[in-house]
Amino acid sequence: MIQRTTARIEARDPDIEGASWQSLLARSITDPSTLLQRLGLDSSLLGEGSRIGHAAFPVRVPEPWLARIRYGDPADPLLRQVLPLADEGEERPGFVTDPLQEADATAAPGLIRKYRSRALLMVTGQCAINCRYCFRRHFPYEDHRLTPRQRETVIDTLRASPEINEVIFSGGDPLAVNDHLLSQWASALSTVPSLTRLRIHSRLPVVIPQRVDDALLEWIGSTRLSVVMVVHVNHPREIDDQVCRAMARLRQAGATLLNQSVILKGVNDDPDTLQALSERLFDAGILPYYLHGFDPVAGAHHFDVNDQRARELVRQLQARLPGYLVPRLVREVPDRPGKTLLDVGMEEGGE
Ligand SMILES: *Cc1c(COP(=O)(O)O)cnc(C)c1O
Ligand code: SF4
């Protein structure tokens, strides 16, 4: 049985508000039992499969994320994203370690060329939070981590590839790296004439909004490249006031803000949540961009939402929201030059 505490206790740690992102990152919870204990939940939620999952892809939950989880609620959608359930130990046919077959697309160490005009730069393998459904949870980051000496090779490769006009800082979470290194990358990239945009795919400004500090805003605001920040929010409650303030500062520095989500069972697989998510994103100055169909990654089958259900949900969104708040339902298909749009069709009549 799961124990619920009736007393209203906050999981919030009073020291997090003014802390630096580096200290918050370092103080993250990395133990499943501690995570449950902090939320007043019983460790019977964990099973043998949780231990297997945690060993393969360790728990990592920073305090500002923990503070947004409802105390005593084992089904909380923010908790579900980070807690290794016993389901992780079950093997399912079709659920594999590299569903996107990224291992084959390396152009130079750290540089992945899956698309004609954009190149992915794997800045780091580290993340601020380990999302249980991550399609890169089995990714061999050690093979891709960039050393400063490899930077020159990457820049040379980009100079020799004028069809690439956008570099995407990817990972892991590229903002887990310090701003000194990131600003060096931004300067080096700005010397490549064909590059016009720098995209940053990061969950950190949402997970630890303190990440949006002066040092980050300084290089984002001063590069000649247009900066596009794609954050990753799956549930409206991930966006609290502090996240809103961080987003406002990023916009002031000139960044365009977009969001990608993953459709996840038990987190956002209903029309009310998805609608609230789009509205909340807009309030925070972020436009919904992609809603990813679920990728069958080993250990995450309990998040699976089939494409037919995902299409139905997006159809419902189309009937409820202006077009600019409806994310594109997509799937990454290995060897295709871009995302594959899942055709959702139209809702008949109104709701
Ligand atoms: C799809 C994808 C991209 C490229 O996104 P586009 O907006 O289609 O250019 C980059 N990184 C990851 C992880 C992706 O899934
Ligand atoms: S932040 Fe992104 S890359 Fe990191 S674990 Fe979560 S989904 Fe995966």
Render the burial of 40-63: b for 16+ CB within 10 Å, e for the rest. Answer: bbeeebbbebbebbbeebebbbbb
CA distance 186 to 17: 29
**Ligand with an atom nearest the CA of residue 289:** 1
In a domain, 310, yes or no: yes
- Reported as half-sphere exposure (CB side, CA atoms, 13 A), residue 321 has a value of 25
Q: Which residues line ligand 2 (CB under 6 A)?
A: 127, 129-131, 134, 136, 173, 203, 232
Domain with 34, as residue range(s), is 21-89
| Ligand 2 site-directed mutation target among 130, 132, 206, 295, most atoms within 8 Å of CB | 130
Q: Which of 45, 61, 89 is the last residue of a domain?
A: 89
Q: Are residues 84 and 163 in the same domain?
A: no
Q: Are residues 67 and 114 in the same domain?
A: no
At residue 121, the pLDDT reads: 95
- Residues listed for the chain: 351
Which amino acid does the sequence have at 140? Answer: P
Contact (Cβ atoms closer than 8 angstroms) between residue 41 and residue 3: yes
Q: Are residues 114 and 62 in the same domain?
A: no
In a domain, 182, yes or no: yes
Q: Is 170 in the pocket of ligand 1 (CB under 6 A)?
A: yes
Q: Which of 89, 111, 134 is the last residue of a domain?
A: 89
Q: How far is the CA of 173 from the centre of ligand 2 (A)?
A: 7
Q: Are residues 82 and 110 in the same domain?
A: no
Number of domains in the chain: 2
Q: Are residues 127 and 62 in the same domain?
A: no
In a domain, 152, yes or no: yes
In a domain, 5, yes or no: no
Check residue 88 and report its DSSP letter: G
In a domain, 347, yes or no: no
Q: Are residues 308 and 333 in the same domain?
A: yes
At residue 327, the pLDDT reads: 98
Q: Are residues 317 and 288 in the same domain?
A: yes
Q: Are residues 130 and 240 in the same domain?
A: yes
Q: Which of 89, 120, 139 is the last residue of a domain?
A: 89
Ligand 1 atom having least distance to the Cα of 339: 8
Q: Are residues 79 and 227 in the same domain?
A: no
Q: How far is the CA of 193 from the centre of ligand 2 (A)?
A: 31
Q: Are residues 185 and 238 in the same domain?
A: yes
CA dist 174 to 29, 113, 199, 205, 234, Å?
20, 17, 11, 11, 19
In a domain, 12, yes or no: no
CATH number at residue 284: 3.20.20.70
Contact (Cβ atoms closer than 8 angstroms) between residue 25 and residue 172: no
Q: Are residues 106 and 207 in the same domain?
A: yes
| Ligand 1 site-directed mutation target among 168, 261, 341, most atoms within 8 Å of CB | 168
pTM of the model: 0.93
In a domain, 127, yes or no: yes
10 Å Cβ neighbour count for 147? 9
At residue 2, the pLDDT reads: 47
In a domain, 4, yes or no: no
Q: Are residues 146 and 180 in the same domain?
A: yes
Ligand 1 atom having least distance to the Cα of 338: 8
Of all protein residues, the one whose alpha carbon is nearest to atom 1 of ligand 2 is: 203
**Ligand with an atom nearest the CA of residue 121:** 1
- Record the tokens describing residue 216, joined without a space: 């980050």
Helix (H, G, I), strand (E, B) or coil at 57: coil
Q: Which of 95, 127, 125, 27 is nearest to 67 (CA)?
A: 27
Per-residue pLDDT of the chain (351 residues; tens, 9 = 90+): 444 444 445 556 656 778 999 999 999 999 999 999 999 999 999 999 999 999 999 999 999 999 999 999 999 999 999 999 999 999 999 998 878 776 666 777 889 888 899 999 998 889 999 999 998 787 766 655 677 788 999 999 999 999 999 999 998 899 999 999 999 999 999 999 999 999 999 999 999 999 999 999 999 999 999 999 999 999 999 999 999 999 999 999 999 999 999 999 999 999 999 999 999 999 999 999 999 999 999 999 999 999 999 999 999 999 999 999 999 999 988 888 889 999 998 776 544
